[in-house]
């Protein structure tokens, strides 16, 4: 949960957002790959699945935020 927040400690604005997205994607891929390797399900398959679930969760969170009208900044 701390990975997407780290860039905002050192950066601001769009740069922080892009770095947070990239770092989060890398973390999701690494976690998925590790799970795939340990479970025997396949590194690529598990990595793609983990990245997809993470992206879907981010999209749902974004949409709910838009619907509720929460705006930070």
16: which 2 tokens?
Answer: 């922080």
Please state, as a whole number, how many other Cβ atoms lie within 10 Å of the Cβ of residue 6. Answer: 14
User: What distance lies between CA 64 and its chain's CA centroid?
Assistant: 17
pLDDT in tens, the chain (73 residues): 899 999 999 999 999 999 999 999 999 999 999 999 999 999 999 999 999 999 999 999 989 988 888 666 5
**DSSP E strands: which ranges in the chain?**
none
User: What distance lies between CA 3 and its chain's CA centroid?
Assistant: 8
Residue ranges in 11-73 assigned as alpha helix (H):
13-39, 43-68
């Amino acid at each position: 949960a701390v990975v997407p927040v780290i860039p905002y400690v050192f950066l601001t604005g769009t740069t922080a957002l892009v770095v947070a997205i990239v770092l989060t994607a890398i973390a999701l891929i690494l976690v998925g790959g590790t799970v795939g390797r340990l479970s025997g399900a396949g590194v690529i398959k598990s990595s793609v699945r983990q990245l997809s679930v993470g992206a879907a969760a981010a999209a749902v969170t974004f949409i709910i935020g838009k619907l509720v009208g929460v705006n930070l900044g």
